[in-house]
Homo-oligomer: A and B are copies of this chain.
Amino acid sequence: MNKTRDISVIGGTGDFFMARGIATIMTDSFEGDVYFRLRVDIKLYECCYTHRAHAPCKEMVFFFHDIVYNGENYKNATSAIVGAPDWGNRTIMSSPNNFGDMIVFDDPITLDNNLHSPPIGRAQGMYFYDQKDTFSSWLGFSFVFNNTDYKGSLNFAGHDPLMNKTRDISVIGGTGDFFMTRGIATLSTDAFEGSVYFRLRVHVKLYECWKLL
């Protein structure tokens, strides 16, 4: 005697090939046991290319630490400028807004915001500054883990408008424990000191998890 009730649409054929969804049924009118009329609202969430994410299948928070080579800090540096526009060089960020500078990095990952905490992996890859009128960058890199908790890698790519408090990039794949995964990483700048040091907080939210049987 509910006003509406949901039943499953479990498959279809022809024009409704492989469709799945929900049908909401309402009794529109009835006359005793003799006659009734139902209203059926069908909502199809088509198999395989429209997905609804309720919550991540896995969440993790990490920090990584970048110290750019400036001509004098080779021993401590974890990254180096390897490309620059014609008006730039490879020991000082180009002006304005570092536009065109490309940096390769080999940064420690820690579980807290302390550069000197034992690293649990490496963030390895590149970023470059790609906006003329403000600081903004593009990232292509991996988190590489080989410890008791995680073995494998997460691969990232995306736009990082670093003046925003938080920004999202894509998790485009993974290997080992992170086989075939996809998701979003929310970045925030936890600290920075000029162009020499910055620390990013990375909140990894995986929405597509795979298990290799």
Contact = CB atoms under 8 A, between A and B. Distances in A.
A119 interface: no
Secondary structure at the A interface, as helix, strand, loop or mixed, is: strand
Given A18-B45, A80-B100, A175 B169 contact: yes
29 contacts: A5-B13, A13-B22, A17-B52, A20-B47, A49-B53, A49-B207, A50-B57, A50-B210, A51-B180, A51-B210, A52-B211, A69-B85, A69-B86, A82-B102, A83-B104, A86-B89, A86-B90, A104-B129, A106-B131, A124-B130, A124-B131, A140-B157, A153-B158, A155-B157, A168-B176, A170-B175, A172-B172, A180-B183, A180-B208
A196 interface: no
A1 interface: no
A201 interface: no
